Structure 1
Amino acid sequence: MSTFDALREQLLSAAEAFSGGGEALSGILSGMVDDVDRMLREELEIFPVCHHSPASALAMTRRLRAKRPKVVYLELCEDLRPLLDELRNCRLPVALQAYATDLDGFPPGSGPLSVVAPVTEASAEYQAIAYALDTPGVELVLVDRSVDHVFQWLPREADGTPVPAPPAGTAGDDGGHGEEAALHGGAVGVEIGDLRPGFAELEEHLLHHGKVRHWSEWWDQYVEQPLTGADHDTYRQAMALIGSLFRRLRPSDTGRLARDEERERYMWTRIREHLAASGADPAECVYVCGAFHAVSRVAESGLASGAPPYTITPRTATRWLYGLIPSSHSAIEAQFGLAQGSVSIAAATWAKAVARDGLTPYRLAGGQGGGSRSKAAKGAKAAGGAAAPPAPPGPAADRLTGFLAAAPAPDGLDEDELRGWCVDIVRLARRNGYLASTADAIAVFETSILLAGLRGRARPTPYDFADAAVTCIEKDVVPGRRDVRRLCEILLGGDRIGQVGYHSLPPLARDVHDRLEPLGVDLTRRTQQRVLLDLRSDPELEPCSDLLWRLRYLLPDDAVRPVMGARRLGERPIQESWDLAIGRHQRSIIELGYEGVTVEQVLEQRLRRKVWEPRATAGTALEAVEDALLYLGGRRLADELGARAVELLAAERTVDDAPEVLRRIRRLLAHHRAIGPELPAWCEAFVTTGYAHYCTLLPTAFTDDGTGVRQVGAMLGFLFSMEGLALALGCDRAQLELAVRQSHPQAPEKTALLWAAQTQLGLLPREELRARCDGLLDNPLVVPSFPLYLSGFVQALESVPALAPFVVEVLSKAFARLPDSVLLPWLPTLITTLRRHAAELVPVLVREAGRTFPGGLAELDGWTPPWERPAVPARASRAAPAPGGPVARLLARHPQACDAVAGLLGCAGEWRADGEPAPRDARVRELIARHPEAAGAVAALLGG
């Protein structure tokens, strides 16, 4: 006869009355009782839990002190076991993490892969871990599938990429807030005891009739509070019943139930393997798992199962890296779709229950914030003396019938507690900019009681109090930095943030702490700290400065932020000021430790990966070269990356990256010319390759509509600015001339660029270019498109900076002669184009305009533009200077300079008696006669 026959009969009678004889409801209710009965009859004690549940943690603590098991089987990834010993050095909450970047056995592009398993003190799993690790002779065995199997069993996209299951949130679950909620990043969460209906209609029904807004509040009201003080048998049976209900109502077509059953086969197989290998007595063991898995119906479940052995699939060849990362209540809520503040409320409930019951929880000896081994032992001894002996083996008594039939004992209103909450929330609200007063505290007190009564509760819960505070204090707007609901969370326990201790950090993170020690700051603090480095008076801080710049490159922007000082090629600041928040980004530094042993190694690996990825371009490779010179120094890595840049440039079939290439190669060439007499071999190869490459693509780029004027201008800038070096290295200028002659653009902007290039090559005289532009302004059919020609001329300054006076002239004529209907719509386009694409060209135009236009208003009335001044008559200008003219007088006034220049030119002569030079040959006279304008101009400049 079964222990639960009476309960089964009652449930079947209720099903008959409600469903009118339907078999579905009867099967579910009867099956739930069978599941609980089967779990209790199992030879190995199964302890069902819910993740981050204070009721589960309290029941676990009491049971461990009563039973003292020798082996604890825990539902957690088996390959995370070595990390558990490191929890001694941490301040909870923290998360166990497995991380992999180099994947072998998973589809390409699916990495990096990351798994986290957060641990809080108010959780049954932590109590079991602390008990097993700090109690001599107790073995802790993790039996869940490995991290590798977590991703093997995930559903996949069409390309084979694993798809993590989204958190089971509802519209009311806004778990997480701020940067603390992102402490886990994009990792897949692993939890013990996920108890949530997989049947959406059931959850909606429970929330509606429970008069709550989200699942976390329902669970706290109807499960946590009734089970907090329940005895061991009642707790086990109630949790198993809930797990069976959710299991039987979960849809089987989603694939999640199949994966859960695979996990159960895996765990029971590991348990049987350990019992067979160790010879442990099942009566001295306990199996801690989620309530959903505690009532498993798979054939492999139980030690007496007669099912054939389950074959565990092998792991992939992926190399997994393991470590601890800081966690927070917000991160846990965001990871698992819990309501905002629910984990903080659970922590407050745990602390209150521990103080109320006089229970000493287990804490790892040596843990930050935890008790010592002697204190834990004393607490265990005191609690053990008062604890009841373990229950004898055999079927347990039926506690479910009484638990389900009797209403929970009403917990009276604790006015002192509620009054303290109301006073404190008003104080916090005033500090955060709210106009709260004593009247608001009274209103929150009364509204909390009113809401609890409307929701059928004997006393206000923290959720009722938070709703009342929002209603009475926040009103319509949020003037402060935090909203009132967030202030309630801070009041009720706060968003506790964990920290990984120094000795549990990976080698890279410890190295960062050691090398930054001379700065004299506490790197474990989560607040922002200001550091000043005077590198002139304190040169031993230069290694710290170098490390900070490397961390600036690798970490998020707000982790290491320079306030004063910059790192540029060829520049070394003498003073630097930094804002450091390294403690706030401990997870990022820990994950750097998965990539290498030192920061320099990680930086080098990332730069190599950057230039060898499939989408790398010549511009990104040049950026990597610059970063290597800035942050790592030396030439070895820079030369390697530069050689890769040459390969990428030669393989490119588009010129989209031309502006970036031009800007970076100019900067790198200037740097290498400043530090040494010779250029690196890769720089010379890049110039010659780029010269030939852009000459080849130039005609196509001029006619291709997909290539912008900015790109064509950058190509010409590369060709003209690198021409001298390229020709010295063996390139042929005829290739550039041929490319320009073969270019026939149709767009006005590119036509202007082509004219500028022809002018630079001497194929188009400046006067003819001016005549063409004047003809465009005189042609009424072309006037509407003339601004496009102007845009092309502005872009041409990149390649032909000597054209700046002509561009100023054309702009001036355009502003003077274009009608307003054409000019005004074009001005915004010109301004935005200069600002977005050619910001470096604006100073060139401004300087040239400053030289061209008068500097004051008084001079403006009589000023004539240079291009409108009458030219000097050619006949008069070509007249040869008369004997004894200004040139002769100039030479006579400066005989030493004249002799020196004549000697250099091979025209040394003698002076006549009248003071004029008497050359030995007629070459000087021929030179003056051939170039009279130049001689006259020089004489005029020198006052001759």
Structure 2
Amino acid sequence: MSGPQESTSFAALRGQLQEAAAAFAGGPDVLEGILLGLVDDVDRAVREPLEIFPVCHHSPASATAMARRLREKQPKVVYLELCEDMAPLLTELRNCRLPVAVQAFAGDVDGFPQEWAPLSVVAPITEASAEYQAIAYALDTPGVELVLVDRSADHVFQWDSRGETGAEDGEAPEEPEAALHGEAVGVGIGDLRPRFAELEEHLLRHGKVRHWSEWWHQYVEVPLGDGAADHDTYRQVMFLIGSLFRRLAPGDGARVRVDEDRERYMWTRMREHMGATGTDPADALYVCGAFHAASRVAEFGVDGSDTFTVSPRSGSTWQYGLIPSSHAAIEAQFGLAAGSVSIAATEWAKSLKRTRVQPYRLAGQTGGKKRPAKKAATTQRAHVSAVPAMDSAAGDRLSGFLRRPPVIDTLDEAELLGWSVDIVRAARRNGYLASTADAIAVFETSILLAGMRDRAKPTPYDFQDAAVTCIEKDVVPGRRDVRRLVEIMMGGDRIGQVGYEALPPLARDVHDRLAPLGLKLQQRGVQRALLDMASRPELRACSDVLWMLRRLMPHGTARPIMGERKLGERSVQESWDVALGTHQRALIELGYEGVSIEQVLEQRLRRDAYGPRATTATVLAAVEDATLYLGSRRLADELGTHALKVLATERSVDGAPEVLRRVRALLAYYRTSEPVLPAWIESFVRTGYAHYCTLLPTAFRDEEATVGQVAAMLGFLFSMESLALSLGCDRAQLELAVAQSHPEDPSKTALLWAARVQLGTLSRAELRARCDGLLDNPLVVPSYPRYLSGFVHALEPVPGLADVVVEAVSNAFGRLPDSVLLPWLPLLITTLRSGAADLAPLLIREAGRIFPGRLEALDAWVPPWRAPVATSGAVRADVGRRGAELLPAHPATCDAVADLLGCTEGWARPGGPVGAARSGVELLAAHPATCDAVAELLGCDGEWAAQADGARSPGASLTSRHPATSVALEALLAGG
């Protein structure tokens, strides 16, 4: 058909269908109207002056017919049913290995519900597809214009009735095989499948097939792709199928409206282009899905009405690129049977060999076989001479095609035998106990199944069923079953690749910066990279890129094996597992957000910090990442200042543990790497101190606040206390907050006792007495594990209570009978494991220090809390003698301690007058923190004796708490 048809008669076909309707229904009824309507649709489409070429998605028969028609007609304009805003990317296909998908991506949503973000539309393209043949012809033929006429990606979502129907052309898949497409909405040419479930079930049942892909292969692909169907027959059959599925589709208003709007959109765009360029319809070709070819809208045709108004696009910012695709991703996204696209690719190669059709292929296309130019030209001339001239007045071809008996395809024994041998070989490699007998069984069973299904030649689907039956035997010894092995043997899950030149600037920048590693970054799979920054300093830049990729990309893209990056720490040697080629789609989508990974990371950190759900902990995490990966003091200061505002608005303590952990890490980093603390972190400590003091009484009473969260608040207050007081905070605020706290939960009660010990309002002796009272009360014993949980959590704010906690646990095990101890022992273990697992090491170390290290020493061992108190003068003299010996041995240390304690009157040397220096007891009273530190240095950790005379001097309370330290210091300061 070289030009438009002015008169095409389907009178014979109408008569046949009327007779069939009368025979089936017993007279004229709805059935007759449907059947005659099919003929009217075909007649209307055939008579259209602008030649319509109907296709099916990823159909080898459509691709073959398309290549044949393009070489014969040589149109000057090709109108293609594809999103019009994807046109600029099609030239980049020559830099890729098919299959790939053209993607439109919008991260910033404007005009759509925020929960839809990010928006993504993909149009997968394979070599065995009619759209690729049209694209390759138009782009590589001089003087040919390719015009995309379908609605834009923005209109895909404008017309999306989400929640009522699905996506128009394909639902966002959930299968893991569709990972290459993510959650994108799929669009493509020729989504040809019955939308009437009963019709599809009827076709499958009477066709003796399992799924729609097999039905299409058997009853459409084979008859149209065997070379016997000419161009007019192909068009009319596809028009008929599209009209049938359309007329029998459910009357879903939203879905029908979208279909009709798409057709109005496309015809409006084509008429606009022909009017603007003066294109003759006879020189153009309209490639669209068969479902949309037989349209009944008023805008149909070059003479249709111009009543459709294209709505403006939304304010969303769309980015465009090519992403890798695969056969499995296409199958999952468009609801095709597993392996059907791979089988179609195999059938496409066989069809080209059988029909001698020369396909179109983009110049420079990677991933395909090179064909000699001379041979290709000879093949093309032979093909053109063999194709009969198309009659412009060609009439009804459907009647003859429908009456023609099915073509009996002779059995290709060599092909089937090769399949049988190959599948047995693959099965043995995957752990199956397959043999030559199984190959013979598969061969014979394939023929048997084809005969049972009225097929003379076994199809790949028959062979697949036979292989499963004869080899698998309900046992899968390896990772792959036999069905999957057949799919691999038939072509496998071919995965496309986007070439370097087609990558966005960010992706090319990543490849360039990682080039010193010497890896094949485009290659799929995991590669090991070894970085020795000591001998090759230039690899530090690669290390920075890898750490940022680990932060931004999906898990597995860049995985550190050796080396770590923490605040203030940099490894000199690192080992990485890099799989950049496997996650190429994610890298390309990352390129939609910026031109460098630093820019993208900064944008994401700002988005996390300034988001509506941002908490103080998330903002501090952004500050840490900005320092860790970007080394940006400017960004860290900005985000840290924002953390102050977020903290002031929080009224819960949910994030207190995370806030405490991150503030401690940042403080430690700034104290070691900066000359002064940043202003924002000083303000944060000052604000946080007042903020948590205010929330403390409420948190103790709040049932939803866990003991770990309250302990984190106290940890912040106690660990930041010295810095907060130096910045102008008032300690009385903390003392008042603790005094106003009255918890009811046992674990929080124990935590409050520990806080009071830290503040000095509760002595250790009183705390021990309260623990003993709990064990003496039979009504409290069942809840004793919860008290212990509170004490363990108290090690976060008051780590010096580790010995008291060990004592409390030991007393419980020593005093309680087994009848009481054993029932709550599991509760104790689970409570400690679930609520204080990170604090258990501190408790274990303290227990290891207190308890004897050998079994034989256990009998004579006396717990420190039960040991007699040494208060004799001999002990005091001995301690003083040790202190006197330390003075001449360490004069510099003695001077430093004197400065710390405020001793300005000078030290008494050994043998000098006693009392020449200030009293040690007075110094202890003035400097309790220094007293504790010196006690640890001197190893004075024994039990302390209270004053014998009971007098209460200014340092009496300290003396009772730390007598050994007092004696040692007095000896040091007074010279013994």
**Shorter-chain TM-score: which interval?**
over 0.9
For residue 115 of structure 2, give the secondary structure of its aligned residue in structure 1: coil
What TM-score, normalized to structure 2? 0.90
- The yes-or-no answer on 1:20 pairing with 2:15 is no
Deviation, structure 1 residue 277: 1.1
Deviation, structure 1 residue 817: 2.3
Change (3 A) 1:28 1:821: farther
Work out which of the residue numbers 16, 21, 34 in structure 2 matches 1:10. 16
Deviation, structure 1 residue 549: 0.7
For residue 183 of structure 1, give the secondary structure of its aligned residue in structure 2: helix
- Compare 785-794 and 901-910 and name the one that shifted more: 901-910
Equivalent in the alignment of 1:131:
137
Work out which of the residue numbers 427, 430, 450 in structure 1 matches 2:428. 430
Q: Equivalent pairs: percent with the same residue?
A: 67
| Cα distance in 2, alignment partners of residues 232 and 910 from structure 1 | 116
Q: Is the 8 A contact 2:83 2:150 kept in 1?
A: yes
| Cα distance in 1, alignment partners of residues 100 and 882 from structure 2 | 92
Equivalent in the alignment of 1:164:
167
- Compare 250-259 and 511-520 and name the one that shifted more: 250-259
Deviation, structure 1 residue 273: 0.9
Work out which of the residue numbers 164, 189, 198 in structure 2 matches 1:192. 189
Change (3 A) 1:686 1:379: farther
Work out which of the residue numbers 670, 682, 693 in structure 1 matches 2:691. 693
Equivalent in the alignment of 1:393:
392
Change (3 A) 1:917 1:886: farther
Equivalent in the alignment of 2:260:
261
Which ranges in structure 1 are unaligned for 5 or more consecutive residues? 170-174
- The yes-or-no answer on 1:281 pairing with 2:307 is no
What amino acid sits opposite 1:587 in the alignment? R
| Cα distance in 2, alignment partners of residues 925 and 205 from structure 1 | 101
Change (3 A) 1:934 1:450: closer
Work out which of the residue numbers 211, 217, 221 in structure 2 matches 1:220. 217
What TM-score, normalized to structure 1? 0.93
Equivalent in the alignment of 1:771:
769
Equivalent in the alignment of 2:155:
149
Residue correspondence of structure 1 range 530-609 to structure 2 within 5 A = 530-609=528-607
For residue 743 of structure 1, give the secondary structure of its aligned residue in structure 2: coil
Change (3 A) 1:927 1:347: closer
| Cα distance in 1, alignment partners of residues 245 and 550 from structure 2 | 48
For residue 287 of structure 1, give the secondary structure of its aligned residue in structure 2: strand
For residue 438 of structure 2, give the secondary structure of its aligned residue in structure 1: helix
- The yes-or-no answer on 1:231 pairing with 2:226 is no
What amino acid sits opposite 2:242 in the alignment? G
| Cα distance in 2, alignment partners of residues 870 and 611 from structure 1 | 58
For residue 579 of structure 1, give the secondary structure of its aligned residue in structure 2: strand
- Compare 818-827 and 292-301 and name the one that shifted more: 818-827
Equivalent in the alignment of 1:202:
199
| Cα distance in 1, alignment partners of residues 387 and 920 from structure 2 | 125
Work out which of the residue numbers 95, 102, 118 in structure 1 matches 2:101. 95
TM-superposition CA deviations, 1:475-514 (whole Å, max 9, x none): 1221112111111011001111111111111001111111
Work out which of the residue numbers 26, 29, 32 in structure 1 matches 2:38. 32
TM-superposition CA deviations, 1:565-596 (whole Å, max 9, x none): 11111111111111111111111110011000
Work out which of the residue numbers 88, 106, 115 in structure 1 matches 2:112. 106
| Cα distance in 2, alignment partners of residues 516 and 895 from structure 1 | 61
Q: Once superposed, which parts of structure 1, at least 4 consecutive aligned residues long, lie more than 4 Å away?
A: 165-169, 175-178, 370-377, 876-881, 885-904, 906-911, 919-944
Equivalent in the alignment of 2:446:
448
Q: Is the 8 A contact 1:892 1:917 kept in 2?
A: no
What amino acid sits opposite 1:279 in the alignment? G
TM-superposition CA deviations, 1:259-278 (whole Å, max 9, x none): 11111111111111111111
Deviation, structure 1 residue 918: 2.7
Equivalent in the alignment of 2:937:
none
Deviation, structure 1 residue 559: 1.4
Equivalent in the alignment of 1:240:
239
| Cα distance in 2, alignment partners of residues 65 and 717 from structure 1 | 79
| Cα distance in 2, alignment partners of residues 835 and 300 from structure 1 | 71
| Cα distance in 2, alignment partners of residues 796 and 575 from structure 1 | 39
What amino acid sits opposite 1:860 in the alignment? L
For residue 340 of structure 1, give the secondary structure of its aligned residue in structure 2: coil
What amino acid sits opposite 2:57 in the alignment? H
What amino acid sits opposite 1:187 in the alignment? A
| Cα distance in 2, alignment partners of residues 934 and 582 from structure 1 | 62
RMSD: 2.7
Residue correspondence of structure 1 range 342-381 to structure 2 within 5 A = 342-370=340-368, 371=370, 378=377, 381=380
Equivalent in the alignment of 1:756:
754
| Cα distance in 1, alignment partners of residues 911 and 594 from structure 2 | 80
For residue 262 of structure 1, give the secondary structure of its aligned residue in structure 2: helix
| Cα distance in 2, alignment partners of residues 922 and 558 from structure 1 | 67
Work out which of the residue numbers 82, 86, 92 in structure 2 matches 1:80. 86
Equivalent in the alignment of 2:62:
56
| Cα distance in 1, alignment partners of residues 563 and 891 from structure 2 | 52
Work out which of the residue numbers 616, 635, 647 in structure 2 matches 1:637. 635
Q: Is the 8 A contact 1:93 1:329 kept in 2?
A: yes
| Cα distance in 2, alignment partners of residues 353 and 903 from structure 1 | 97
| Cα distance in 2, alignment partners of residues 892 and 534 from structure 1 | 51
Q: Is the 8 A contact 2:879 2:968 kept in 1?
A: no
| Cα distance in 2, alignment partners of residues 440 and 286 from structure 1 | 51
Change (3 A) 1:935 1:704: closer
| Cα distance in 2, alignment partners of residues 824 and 289 from structure 1 | 77
Deviation, structure 1 residue 762: 0.5
- Compare 711-720 and 477-486 and name the one that shifted more: 477-486
Q: Is the 8 A contact 1:54 1:347 kept in 2?
A: yes
TM-superposition CA deviations, 1:648-669 (whole Å, max 9, x none): 1111110011111111111111
TM-superposition CA deviations, 1:798-851 (whole Å, max 9, x none): 110011100000011112223445533444444444444433311111111111
Equivalent in the alignment of 2:498:
500
Change (3 A) 1:48 1:809: same
| Cα distance in 2, alignment partners of residues 580 and 653 from structure 1 | 43
Which ranges in structure 2 are unaligned for 5 or more consecutive residues? 1-6, 924-946, 948-952, 954-958
Change (3 A) 1:248 1:482: same
TM-superposition CA deviations, 1:10-33 (whole Å, max 9, x none): 111111111112511000101101
| Cα distance in 1, alignment partners of residues 862 and 291 from structure 2 | 92
- Compare 104-113 and 612-621 and name the one that shifted more: 104-113
| Cα distance in 2, alignment partners of residues 51 and 897 from structure 1 | 89
Q: Is the 8 A contact 1:910 1:919 kept in 2?
A: yes
| Cα distance in 1, alignment partners of residues 261 and 484 from structure 2 | 40
For residue 716 of structure 2, give the secondary structure of its aligned residue in structure 1: helix
| Cα distance in 1, alignment partners of residues 840 and 298 from structure 2 | 78
Deviation, structure 1 residue 685: 1.3
| Cα distance in 1, alignment partners of residues 469 and 673 from structure 2 | 68
Change (3 A) 1:628 1:163: farther
Equivalent in the alignment of 1:303:
302
Change (3 A) 1:560 1:379: farther
Equivalent in the alignment of 2:178:
181
What amino acid sits opposite 2:625 in the alignment? D
Equivalent in the alignment of 2:3:
none
Deviation, structure 1 residue 941: 11
Work out which of the residue numbers 829, 853, 864 in structure 2 matches 1:855. 853
Change (3 A) 1:633 1:163: farther
Q: Is the 8 A contact 1:366 1:372 kept in 2?
A: no
Equivalent in the alignment of 1:211:
208
Aligned residues: 925
Work out which of the residue numbers 40, 46, 49 in structure 2 matches 1:43. 49
For residue 839 of structure 2, give the secondary structure of its aligned residue in structure 1: helix
Q: Is the 8 A contact 1:908 1:919 kept in 2?
A: no
Equivalent in the alignment of 1:172:
none
Q: Is the 8 A contact 2:884 2:972 kept in 1?
A: no
